[in-house]
Amino acid sequence: MKVQYRILIAILAITAGVFLFKFLIGGSTVALFAPEGAIAAQESSIIKIMVLLMLIVVVPMFVLLFTFAWKYRAGNPNAKYNPVRARSAWKQIVLWCVPAALVAVLAVLNWNSAHAVDPYQPIPASAVAPGAQPLTIQVVALTWKWLFIYPEQNIATVNFIEFPENTPVHFELTADAPMSTFWIPQLGSQIYAMAAMETQLSLIASSTGDYVGKDTEINGAGYAGMTFTAQSVSQNDFNSWVAQVQQSSSTLDANAYNALAEPSTYNPPAYYSSVAGDMFDTIMVKFMLPSSTLPASPADGSPSQATSSVPDMPGMQMMPGMQM
């Protein structure tokens, strides 16, 4: 074998070994393998176990690949090749049973883990701080930004969320834009946000820190910038932050929302001291009526009158502030 090929194989082997070592012991700079929450830790462990199981087949395959390539190279006249030799029953059993058993093990593991980290399931009590009450955050995927509504605190933010550490955070998600995927890699599962429906996700942060959130569904020109910051803080710091946001001069009424919903690629964090009506449900349900939009508030502050050419739909009740 030529020297340059040996050097290349050695470099590849060392690189793979270093990556596998860091992968197994942790400390990776890749967010997916640096979990900061109970859900993310479970998912990271599942990924590592599955990779190790698959290496049972992958490693021998690559060893045999290079072995056969070297043994039966054109420059090796001593290699014996007998294409009509009788097949060994034991070799056939190994070639078929080992991969089949591996697939069966992976199937069971995948089934169990999918239920264990079901995004709709509540956070295990063992991961929750004593006395911590779940926090609800409503998420609306816009073009190309994220709107977060805190229904219990009656505040809203754009491209920024804050929550207490060791506290279950229950996300309710919908979209007023093309389909998007909500994901905070260091905290756990990703889930779709789609118009006219609600999805749910439960996450928890095991320590304080800033985590990057992103959209993983390509949805147009501003997709790459559709990111947000998720900040985990102490309970006291969270209470102070809520009080600070409630002092903001901006409010999220119908006019403000309609302006916010316009497509834009530059979206710095924004804060709203109050949210008008049941904004989340109104946004979600409006897609059930094709011509409905969030009506603008009249200049004189009087209640807006909903009008629409959509015929009456039996059994459909209007949400407050929704146009018909």
- The dihedral over CA atoms of 65, 68, 73, 79, expressed in degrees to the nearest 10, equals 180
Give the pLDDT band (50/70/90) at residue 29: low
Give the pLDDT band (50/70/90) at residue 299: very low
The distance between the two most distant Cα atoms of the chain, rounded to a whole number of Å, is: 96
Instruction: Flag whether pLDDT at 18 surpasses 80.
Output: no
Q: How far apart are CA 158 and CA 139, in angstroms?
A: 10
Instruction: Flag whether pLDDT at 24 surpasses 70.
Output: no
CB 134 within 8 A of CB 174: no
Please give the average per-residue pLDDT across 114-120, as a whole number: 87
> Buried (b) or exposed (e) across 232-247, using 16+ Cβ within 10 A?
bbebeebeebeeebee
Give the pLDDT band (50/70/90) at residue 307: very low
pLDDT tens column, 66-99: 888 878 877 787 877 777 766 777 878 888 888 8
Please give the average per-residue pLDDT across 313-321, as a whole number: 34
> Buried (b) or exposed (e) across 271-295, using 16+ Cβ within 10 A?
bbbebbebbbbbbbbbeebeebebb
Which neighbouring-strand residues pair with 212? Answer: 229
Kindly state the percentage of the chain with pLDDT values over 70: 80
Task: Tell me which DSSP letter residue 26 carries.
Answer: -
Side chain identity at 155, as an amino acid letter? Answer: I
Task: Tell me which DSSP letter residue 103 carries.
Answer: H
**Radius of gyration of the CA atoms of the chain, in A:** 27
Kindly state the percentage of the chain with pLDDT values over 90: 41
Query: Tell me, what's the pLDDT at 309?
Result: 32
Q: How far apart are CA 145 and CA 263, in angstroms?
A: 8
Q: How many CB atoms lie within 10 A of CB 106?
A: 14
Measured in degrees and rounded to the nearest 5, phi and psi for residue 302 equal -75, 155
Please give the average per-residue pLDDT across 285-296, as a whole number: 65
Contacts (Cβ under 8 Å, ≥6 apart) of 302: none
Helix 3-25 and helix 38-71, axial crossing angle in degrees, nearest 10: 160
pLDDT tens column, 126-152: 788 888 889 999 999 999 999 999 999
Instruction: Flag whether pLDDT at 64 surpasses 90.
Output: no
Query: Tell me, what's the pLDDT at 20?
Result: 63
- Give the residue with greater pLDDT, 253 vs 32: 253
Integer CA distances (angstroms), 31 to 77, 267, 274, 277, 316, in order: 51, 23, 33, 37, 44
pLDDT tens column, 164-213: 999 999 999 999 998 999 999 999 889 999 998 999 999 999 999 999 99
